[in-house]
Amino acid sequence: MIVKILRNVTGAVVVAADLLTRWSRVKRSAQGQAKVADSTKSMKLYHFLGCPFCVKTRRAMYKLNLPIETRSASQGSPHRESLLNGGGKVKVPCLHIQHDDGKEEWMYESKSIIQYLNSQFADIK
């Protein structure tokens, strides 16, 4: 019980700190942003609101100006089961990518996800 309360309080502090310290995001040409929007349509980020690794990942998405749909994997959410069935474990963050060739990818680890997003989108102006 106390652990749960502490976890919730920490999560709320992390989320508030994140929102209060979001500075600039990448600005692109309309064409560049449209290209990004088109590519990110095939991506979903499974996350928990107060998870520090998810906050780190969402901040990278914000900074790169990526309109990726976020899906809560908290207890009781239907997305939790999709994550378990698709990715094999309930661990967040997890980036689900539906590739053009029909292959699906469930990418775990905040560091890998951030590296991947930077490699795909940082150079689009």
Ligand X SMILES: N[C@@H](CCC(=O)N[C@@H](CS)C(=O)NCC(=O)O)C(=O)O
User: Interface residues with ligand X (CB under 6 A)?
Assistant: 48, 51, 53, 90-93, 109-111
Nearer to ligand X, 25 or 111 (CB): 111
- Least distance to ligand X, CB of residue 60, Å: 12
> Residue 21: exposed, middle, or buried by beta-carbon count in 10 A (0-12, 13-18, 19+)?
exposed
Residue partners of 16: CB distance under 8 A and separation at least 6: none
Q: How many CB atoms lie within 10 A of CB 113?
A: 23
Residue partners of 6: CB distance under 8 A and separation at least 6: none
Nearer to ligand X, 48 or 121 (CB): 48
- Least distance to ligand X, CB of residue 56, Å: 8
- Least distance to ligand X, CB of residue 100, Å: 26
Nearer to ligand X, 36 or 50 (CB): 50
